[in-house]
């Protein structure tokens, strides 16, 4: 810990209150104290007419110190509010100079200053909802006064980072300046010379469209899907419309404390930490430089991966089997960018730049100069082996070779190449340019440099990386297979696909299991299920409905039928599927019953946790928290529950073990309680104990 995180300097007759508290200048106890003291010193110094509040390092204050949230409340003194009150009472102007990410409490400090200047590449925002909180230092009260309730509602409920030019257009800042410090000093001087002391606190709420606000509120409630923080943040903005600032601040503080003490913020803060630890590269290992990336295969995955790479500024060579197939891949990539151009998400310039950065080829030798090659051909071991074998004779010996396989043994692919220690898996999720999760599959032989390189690429792509070991399905698909099996058993017990999906969506899942299957295409999983069926113990409980649907050529949304019927853009129950499900129950001699939503939720969750424990014992995931990150970012598990393993700790592992035992009783072979779960429950430990 550094001695003096805040200091007062001078630039002529302008004071410079400077924060230097790496890595992100968070408002830790010492920083709050330092700010209060520096402001007092500035006020007391009659030779200083105005001040600039700025930060050293990579960013302006990025918010409260998240690590302090778990401490006892009395350790929080002095509160940030003390500094904000001092700023409000200050009789000389203070200008905030924002660079990097001025977020949360950091932007709240800026809003209490008398003006805000931002660097062109800076961002502002209130990401508190992402950790289950709301802006707790006036953000929900000052923002509607400054820019109106509609913008305020958007910012505090979405948590999005607003770039400098948009912040300027919205009125969140007063100036965008390349020479930030100089511009802020000049503005501070001008305010002092004019005798101006503009304060957001003195403003009243500007006129706004009430109906639009109500509609936006309704949307926030609809989108929350069980998350409390956006709803509370919206409450606080609504409160601001009819209340004086001080009352609003008190209301906001009460809501903030309630959220901070609650399970959702605990869960989201667990994820915040887990995401960063999961993506950490091996200590002291430098990644290899990556400029040009080869992608083999230009289907849905290959083209999505190419878009993700180009979005991140990398050059791509995409290789298909023939010029015609390469052209089809070009059209797929082009279609994504054209849509972005049409919907205004991409400028003409960026459209041209990104589409121009992909080379399309039909000969693997075009990958000679690539630093990394990602294979994304069909999910067939022989096909993938052939690609790796061929690549081995073409690329440099230090080129990292990655497979986008979802299930297959990456070791067998490594066996095909010269220098197998540069081979690993990079398992993207579809659509690859949208989904955040990237499982990095690490074969035992993989070099730390290869791992570091793939993690660095993941970071560049703004993906959430998690390292997994080699097994069938890695972390995510292996756990999904078990939770899906429970969903299918629920069908046989008496539920219909819509009942299962409704239960899971009520739990907070982004989509129900059967709706997801239909969307992805049942044929994708069918091949894998056939492969598994061939090696499965015949005594295991299996529901035949999936296969029966596929045998009719119904592969989900794209064929108009799957677990559901798709008509006029609507997902409807399919009577044929009901017949199949009822027949499956009859064949097993099950009297169909109503399966309550809670039972479905608990069975699916218990299945995830039990398999998660096996995944840990097998060394496929290094930490329980890694499993949480995978399920949240790749499988729609509600983030506010923190992931299945965190949720299991919250419920208690003895209770979870009872639930798993019930699954075992009902479903038999393959559902034995995981030894690790049994051990943790017996010794009254938690999964969190293994995260340390």
Q: Which of 15, 42, 101, 663 contacts ligand 3HC by CB under 6 A? A: 101
Give the residue carrying structure tokens 């970012």.
633
98 scored as a contact of ligand 3HC (CB under 6 A): no
Give yes or no for residue 63 binding ligand 3HC (CB under 6 A): yes
- Work out how close the CB of 251 gets to ligand 3HC at its nearest, in angstroms, rounded to a whole number: 14
- Shortest Cβ 438–ligand 3HC spacing (Å): 15
How far is it, in rounded angstroms, from Cα 51 to Cα 184?
9
Q: Closest distance between ligand 3HC and the C-beta of residue 277, in Å?
A: 7
Stretch that binds ligand 3HC, among 132-140, 366-374, 477-485, 591-599 (CB under 6 A): 132-140
Which segment (62-70, 110-118, 213-221, 471-479) binds ligand 3HC by CB under 6 A? Answer: 62-70
Distance CA 214, CA 220 (A): 10
Residue 62 interacting with ligand 3HC (CB under 6 A): yes
Query: CB of residue 75 vs ligand 3HC: minimum separation in angstroms?
Result: 15
According to the binding rule CB under 6 A, does residue 449 interact with ligand 3HC?
no
Q: Is 352 a catalytic residue?
A: no
| DSSP per position, 227-290 | -SHHHHHHHHHHHHTTS-HHHHHHHHHHHHHHHHHSHHHHHHHHHHHHHHHHTPPPTT-PPPP-
Residue 263: Cβ-neighbour burial (10 angstroms; 0-12, 13-18, 19+): middle
Torsion sign (Cα): 498, 475, 541, 646? negative
Report how far Cα 615 is from the mean position of its chain's Cα atoms: 22
Characterize the bridge pairing of strands 372-375 and 400-403. parallel
214 is catalytic: no
Q: How far is the CB of 244 from ligand 3HC (least distance, A)?
A: 20
The angle at the Cα of 574, spanning 570 to 575, to the nearest 5 degrees, equals 145
Stretch touching ligand 3HC by CB under 6 A, among 98-106, 110-118, 346-354, 606-614: 98-106
Q: Is 595 helix (H, G, I), strand (E, B) or coil?
A: coil
H-helix or E-strand spanning residue 226? none
Q: Taking CB under 6 A as the rule, does residue 103 contact ligand 3HC?
A: yes
* Residue selected from 15, 34, 93, 127 as contacting ligand 3HC according to rule CB under 6 A: 127
CB of 82 to ligand 3HC, least distance (A): 13
Binding letters toward ligand 3HC, positions 394-413, x by CB under 6 A = --------------------
233 binds ligand 3HC (CB under 6 A): no
Q: Tell me if 152 sits within 8 A of 229, measured CB to CB.
A: no
Site membership for ligand 3HC, residue 67 (CB under 6 A): yes
Secondary structure letter of residue 64 according to DSSP: B
Interface with ligand 3HC: number of residues (CB under 6 A): 24
Say how many CA atoms lie within 13 Å of 301 toward its Cβ: 20
SS3 sequence, 620-631?
CCCCHHHHHHHH
Site string for ligand 3HC, 584-623 (x = CB under 6 A): ----------------------------------------
Among 34, 93, 122, 135, which residue sits at the site for ligand 3HC (rule: CB under 6 A)?
135
Nearer to ligand 3HC, 156 or 653 (CB): 156
Find the length of the chain: 692
Q: How far is the CB of 206 from ligand 3HC (least distance, A)?
A: 23
Of 391, 474, 383, the closest CA to residue 427 belongs to 474
Q: Where does residue 670 fall: left (phi above 0), alpha (psi -120 to 50 degrees), or beta otherwise? A: left
Give the integer Cα–Cα distance in Å for 442 and 447.
9
Pick between residue 67 and residue 347 the one whose CB is nearest to ligand 3HC. 67
Pick between residue 156 and residue 408 the one whose CB is nearest to ligand 3HC: 156
Helix (H) or strand (E) holding 291: none
CB nearer to ligand 3HC: pick between 105 and 144? 105
Among 105, 298, 473, 497, binds ligand 3HC (CB under 6 A): 105
Closest approach of ligand 3HC to the CB of residue 28, in Å: 8
Report the distance separating Cα 145 and Cα 361, nearest Å: 56
Q: Is 229 in the site for ligand 3HC (CB under 6 A)?
A: no
- Tokens 């340019």: give the residue: 433
Distance (Å) of CA 273 to CA 280, 326, 515: 11, 42, 31
Task: Scan residues 22-61 and list those touching ligand 3HC (CB under 6 A).
Answer: 23-24, 26
The crossing angle, in degrees rounded to 10, of helices 300-311 and 348-355 is 120
Which residue in 43, 74, 77, 108 is the catalytic one? 108
Neighbours of 678 (CB within 10 A): 17
136 binds ligand 3HC (CB under 6 A): yes
d(CA 69, CA 67): 6
User: Under the criterion CB under 6 A, does residue 128 sit at the interface with ligand 3HC?
Assistant: yes
| CB proximity list for 533: less than 8 A, separation 6 or greater | 542
Contact 573, 565 (CB under 8 A): yes
Q: Which long-range contacts (CB under 8 A, 24 or more apart) does 615-621 make?
A: 615/471, 615/475, 615/478, 615/479, 616/676, 616/690, 617/674, 617/675, 617/676, 618/469, 618/471, 619/469, 620/468, 620/469, 620/470, 620/471, 620/474, 620/475, 620/478, 621/466, 621/468, 621/469, 621/475
Smallest gap from Cβ 65 to ligand 3HC, in A, equals 4
Of 81 and 389, nearer to ligand 3HC (C-beta) is: 81
Using CB under 6 A as the binding rule, the residues of this chain from 508 to 547 that contact ligand 3HC are: none
Catalytic residue from among 9, 77, 128, 598: 128
- Nearer CB in complex with ligand 3HC: 26/677: 26
Tell me whether residue 23 or residue 538 sits nearer to ligand 3HC (CB atom).
23
Q: How far is CA 56 from the centre of its chain?
A: 28
Considering the rule CB under 6 A, would residue 306 count as an interface residue with ligand 3HC? no
Whether the CB-CB separation of 355 and 333 falls below 8 Å is answered with: yes
CB of 127: closest distance to ligand 3HC in angstroms? 4
| Closest distance to ligand 3HC from the beta carbon of 236 (Å) | 11
Using the rule CB under 6 A, is 294 a contact of ligand 3HC?
no
At residue 317, φ and ψ (nearest 5 deg) are -115, 115
Q: Does 66 bind ligand 3HC (CB under 6 A)?
A: yes
Question: Should residue 15 be labelled a site residue for ligand 3HC when binding is judged by CB under 6 A?
Answer: no
132 lines the binding site for ligand 3HC (CB under 6 A): no
Taking the least distance from each CB to ligand 3HC, the nearer of 63 and 189 is 63
Piece of 111-119, 136-144, 222-230, 384-392 that binds ligand 3HC (CB under 6 A): 136-144
- Using CB under 6 A as the binding rule, whether residue 276 contacts ligand 3HC is answered as yes
Select from 288, 265, 269 the least CA-distant residue to 277.
Answer: 269
Tell me: does residue 64 bind ligand 3HC (CB under 6 A): yes
- CB of 272 vs ligand 3HC, minimal distance in Å: 7
As annotated, the active-site residues are 108, 128
Give the interface with ligand 3HC as residue ranges (CB under 6 A). 23-24, 26, 62-67, 80, 101, 103-105, 108, 127-128, 131, 133, 135-137, 139, 276
């Amino acid at each position: 810990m550094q001695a003096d995180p805040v200091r007062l300097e001078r630039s002529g007759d302008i004071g410079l209150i400077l924060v230097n508290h790496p890595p992100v200048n968070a408002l830790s106890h010492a920083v709050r104290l330092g700010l209060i003291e520096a402001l007092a010193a500035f006020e007391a110094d009659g030779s200083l007419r105005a001040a600039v509040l700025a930060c050293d390092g990579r960013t302006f204050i990025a918010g409260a110190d998240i690590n302090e949230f778990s401490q006892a409340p009395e350790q929080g003194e002095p509160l940030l509010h003390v500094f904000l009150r001092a700023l409000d009472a200050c009789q000389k102007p203070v200008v905030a100079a924002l660079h990097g990410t001025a977020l949360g409490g950091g932007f709240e400090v800026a809003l209490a200053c008398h003006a805000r200047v931002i660097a062109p590449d800076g961002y502002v925002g209130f990401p508190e909802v992402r950790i289950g909180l709301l802006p707790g230092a006036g953000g929900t009260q000052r923002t509607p006064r400054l820019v109106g309730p509609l913008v305020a509602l958007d910012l505090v409920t979405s948590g999005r980072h607003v770039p400098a030019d948009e912040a300027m257009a919205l009125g969140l800042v007063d100036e965008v300046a390349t020479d930030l410090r100089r511009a802020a000093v000049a503005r501070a001087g001008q305010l002092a010379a004019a005798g101006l002391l503009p304060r957001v606190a003195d403003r009243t709420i500007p006129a706004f469209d009430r109906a639009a606000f109500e509609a936006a509120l309704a949307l926030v409630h609809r989108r929350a899907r069980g998350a409390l923080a956006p709803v509370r943040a919206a409450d606080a903005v609504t409160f601001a419309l009819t209340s004086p600032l001080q009352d609003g601040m008190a209301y906001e503080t009460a809501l903030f404390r309630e959220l901070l003490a609650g399970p959702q913020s605990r869960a989201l803060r667990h994820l915040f930490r887990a995401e960063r630890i999961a993506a950490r590269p091996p200590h002291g290992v430098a990644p290899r430089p990556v400029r040009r990336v080869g992608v083999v295969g230009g289907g849905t995955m290959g083209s999505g991966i190419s878009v993700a790479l180009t979005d991140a500024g990398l050059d791509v060579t995409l290789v298909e089997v023939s010029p015609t197939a390469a052209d089809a891949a070009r059209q797929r990539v082009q279609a994504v960018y054209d849509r972005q151009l049409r919907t205004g998400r991409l400028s003409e310039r960026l459209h041209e730049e990104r589409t121009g950065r992909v080379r399309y080829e039909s000969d693997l030798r075009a990958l000679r100069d690539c630093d990394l090659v990602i294979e994304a051909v069909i999910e067939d071991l022989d096909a993938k082996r052939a690609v790796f074998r061929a690549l081995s004779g073409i690329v440099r010996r230090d080129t990292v070779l990655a497979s986008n396989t979802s299930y297959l043994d990456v070791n067998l692919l490594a066996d095909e190449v010269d220098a197998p220690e540069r081979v690993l898996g990079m398992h993207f999720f579809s659509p690859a340019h949208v989904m955040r999760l990237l499982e990095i599959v690490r074969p035992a032989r993989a070099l730390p440099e290869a791992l570091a390189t793939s993690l660095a690429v993941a970071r560049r792509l703004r993906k959430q990386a998690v390292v997994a070991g080699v097994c069938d399905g890695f972390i995510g698909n292996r756990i999904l297979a078990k939770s899906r099996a429970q969903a299918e058993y629920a069908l046989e017990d008496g539920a219909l696909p819509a009942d299962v999906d409704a239960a899971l969506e009520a739990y907070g899942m982004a989509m129900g299991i059967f709706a997801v299957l239909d969307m992805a295409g049942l044929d994708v999983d069918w091949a894998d299920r056939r492969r598994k069926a061939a090696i499965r113990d015949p005594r295991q409980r299996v529901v035949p409905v999936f296969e029966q649907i596929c045998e009719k050529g119904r592969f989900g949304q794209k064929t108009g039928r799957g677990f559901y019927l798709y008509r006029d853009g609507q997902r409807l129950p399919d009577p044929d599927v009901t017949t199949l499900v009822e027949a499956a129950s009859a064949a097993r001699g099950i009297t169909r019953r109503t399966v309550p939503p809670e039972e479905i939720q608990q069975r699916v969750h218990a299945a995830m946790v039990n398999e998660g424990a096996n995944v840990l014992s097998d060394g496929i995931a290094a930490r329980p928290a890694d499993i949480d990150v995978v399920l949240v970012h790749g499988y729609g598990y509600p983030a506010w529950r923190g992931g299945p393993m965190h949720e299991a700790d919250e419920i208690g592992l003895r209770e979870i073990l009872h639930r798993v035992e019930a699954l075992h009783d009902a479903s038999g072979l393959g559902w034995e309680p995981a030894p690790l779960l049994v051990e943790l429950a017996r010794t009254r430990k938690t999964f969190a104990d293994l995260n340390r």
